[in-house]
C-alpha cells in the first residue's frame, strides 16, 4: 500500500492513539511523584527512581528503533510496549518499597517513551516533503488535548481537599493503566507505511549519512531536557509544599497543556514556511525564564499561572524537535534517529532528575530551579550559536 492510498480511518486511528498516548501522561506526570513519596520514597530516592528508569532509555530506545527499521514495521512494537506499560502501572498501584517501584518504573517509562517516539516516525512517513512541521503538529496536537482531558478527569477521581496518602491516590492507579490497554488495541489499526523505494535507486545504494548538525542539536536538546524535565519532576512536590490540593496539581499541569494546544496548532505550519530554528530558539530562551519564575511563588495559583509558559516550551520544542529530526532522516533510518532523539531526552532527563533530587533533598526546590535555569541558558546559547537550520528547500 502506498502512502497516498492509506484509508482515512487509519489516520483517524493514529489521531486516537496519539490522543491516548500523550493523554496517559496526564495521570503519570502529576501523580507518580506523589505516589512514590506517599510510599516512603525520599526526594533523593525519587530522583534515583525516575532517573535510573529514564536512563535505561539509552539502551532500550535505540534497540527498539533499530528493530522497527529492520522489520520495517511499528505496530507489533507499539502493541508490545503498550501492554508492558499497562501491566507495570497496574502493579504500581499494589507495589511499595524502593526496589519494586524502581523496576516497575523502568518498564512503564520505557514503554511510554517508545510510544511517544514512534508517533514521530509514523507521521514523518505520512507527511510530504517540506510539510513535516505542520504534519506532525496536526496529529500531535490531539495528544495535548488528550492530556488535558485525562489530567482533569484524573483530578476528579480523588478528594478535593489536601491529602496525598496512598489511599487518596489509589483510584488513579486503578483506572489510569487501562489507557495503555486501549492504546494497544488502537495500535493494531494505525497506518504503518513501508519504506519509499525509488525505481531509480540501486538496491545496494549507501544509506544517507547522518548530518553532523543533528549531533549539535541533540547536545542542545539534551541540556534543555536535563534542566526542564529534571526540575519538572518535582513540580507536584513543590505544589504540595505550597499547600495545593490534588486537583490544583492537575490544574497546574493542564493549564500549560491548554496553551500548548494553541501554540502547537500554529507553530508547525509556521516553521514549514520560515524554518525550524527561529521557533526552537524562542522555546529554548523562555524555558530558563519559566524556571526562575517558579521561585517567588507564595501559593499554588502563582505556579499555575507560570505553567502557561509550558505551551511555549513543549508546544514548540516537543513538536518542532521531532520535525527537525525528521528533516535530517529518510525512511531507512527514521526510526533509529527518532529513537536516538528520544534516548537523548531520556538520558538527559534521567541525569537531571538525579541532580535535581540531590539539590531538592540537600538544599531546596527553589535552589534547584535556579540551578536548572543556569543549565537552560547554556542550552539556549548552544542552540542559537551552533545549530543550523534543518529544513532544506
pLDDT of residue 196: 59
d(CA 53, CA 30): 17
Identify the H or E element spanning 374: helix 365-386
pLDDT of residue 163: 61
Contact 164, 246 (CB under 8 A): yes
d(CA 217, CA 229): 17
The grid coordinates listed for 363 are 538544599
CA dihedral 262, 286, 275, 114 (to 10 degrees): -70
CA dihedral 127, 130, 134, 136 (to 10 degrees): 40
C-alpha separations of 116 from 155, 214, 268, 343 in Å: 23, 20, 18, 11
Tens place of pLDDT per residue across the chain (393 aa): 444 577 888 889 998 999 999 888 888 888 888 899 889 888 888 888 888 887 787 788 788 888 888 888 899 999 999 999 999 999 998 898 899 999 999 999 889 888 987 877 787 667 654 455 566 677 778 888 888 888 888 888 887 666 678 888 899 999 999 999 999 999 999 988 777 554 444 444 455 567 889 999 999 999 999 999 999 989 999 998 999 988 889 889 888 888 888 888 888 889 998 999 999 999 999 999 999 999 999 999 999 999 999 888 988 998 899 889 988 888 778 878 887 888 788 789 878 988 998 999 999 999 999 999 999 999 999 999 999 999 875
d(CA 285, CA 381): 8
pTM, 2 dp: 0.76
d(CA 50, CA 177): 18
- Extended beta strands in the chain, E state: none
What 3-state DSSP class applies to 163?
coil
* Angular region, 168: left φ>0, alpha ψ -120 to 50, beta rest: alpha
Burial of residue 269 (CB within 10 Å: 0-12, 13-18, 19+) is middle
pLDDT of residue 5: 72
Identify the H or E element spanning 83: helix 75-92
What 3-state DSSP class applies to 299?
coil
What 3-state DSSP class applies to 344?
helix
Contact 117, 341 (CB under 8 A): yes
pLDDT of residue 208: 58
pLDDT of residue 222: 96
Amino acid at each position: 500500500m502506498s502512502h497516498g492510498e492509506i484509508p482515512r480511518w487509519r489516520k483517524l486511528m493514529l489521531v486516537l492513539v496519539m490522543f491516548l498516548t500523550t493523554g496517559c501522561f496526564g495521570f503519570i506526570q502529576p501523580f507518580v511523584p506523589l505516589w512514590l513519596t506517599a510510599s516512603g520514597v525520599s526526594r533523593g530516592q525519587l530522583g534515583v527512581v525516575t532517573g535510573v528508569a529514564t536512563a535505561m532509555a539509552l539502551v532500550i530506545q535505540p534497540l527498539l528503533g533499530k528493530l522497527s527499521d529492520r522489520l520495517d514495521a511499528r505496530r507489533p512494537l507499539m502493541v508490545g510496549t503498550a501492554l508492558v506499560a499497562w501491566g507495570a502501572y497496574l502493579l504500581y498501584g499494589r507495589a511499595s518499597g524502593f526496589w519494586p517501584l524502581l523496576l516497575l518504573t523502568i518498564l512503564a517509562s520505557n514503554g511510554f517513551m517508545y510510544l511517544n517516539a514512534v508517533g514521530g516516525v509514523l507521521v514523518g512517513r505520512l507527511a510530504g516533503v517540506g510539510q513535516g512541521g505542520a504534519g506532525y503538529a496536526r496529529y500531535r496536537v490531539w495528544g495535548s488535548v488528550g492530556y488535558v482531558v485525562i489530567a482533569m478527569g484524573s483530578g476528579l477521581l480523588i478528594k478535593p481537599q489536601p491529602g496525598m496518602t496512598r489511599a487518596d491516590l489509589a483510584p488513579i492507579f486503578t483506572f489510569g493503566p487501562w489507557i495503555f490497554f486501549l492504546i494497544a488495541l488502537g495500535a493494531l489499526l494505525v497506518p504503518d507505511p513501508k519504506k519509499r523505494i525509488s525505481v531509480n535507486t540501486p538496491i545496494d545504494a549507501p544509506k544517507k549519512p547522518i548530518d553532523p548538525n543533528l549531533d549539535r542539536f541533540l547536545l542542545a536538546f539534551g541540556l534543555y531536557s536535563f534542566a526542564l524535565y529534571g526540575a519538572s519532576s518535582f513540580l507536584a512536590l513543590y505544589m504540595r509544599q505550597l499547600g495545593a490540593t490534588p486537583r490544583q496539581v492537575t490544574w497546574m499541569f493542564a493549564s500549560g497543556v491548554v496553551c500548548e494546544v494553541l501554540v502547537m496548532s500554529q507553530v508547525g505550519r509556521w516553521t514549514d514556511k520560515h524554518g525550524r530554528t527561529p521557533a526552537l530558539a524562542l522555546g529554548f530562551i523562555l524555558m530558563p525564564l519559566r524556571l526562575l519564575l517558579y521561585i517567588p511563588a507564595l501559593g499554588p495559583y502563582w505556579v499555575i499561572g507560570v505553567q502557561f509558559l509550558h505551551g511555549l516550551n513543549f508546544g514548540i520544542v516537543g513538536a518542532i524537535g521531532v520535525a527537525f529530526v525528521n528533516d535530517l532522516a529518510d525512511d531507512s533510518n527514521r526510526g533509529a534517529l527518532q529513537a536516538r532523539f528520544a534516548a537523548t531526552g531520556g538520558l538527559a532527563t534521567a541525569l537531571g532528575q538525579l541532580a535535581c533530587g540531590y539539590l531538592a533533598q540537600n538544599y531546596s526546590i527553589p535552589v534547584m530551579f535556579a540551578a536548572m535555569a543556569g543549565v537552560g541558558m547554556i542550552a539556549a546559547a548552544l542552540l542559537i550559536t551552533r545549530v543550523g537550520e534543518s529544513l532544506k528547500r
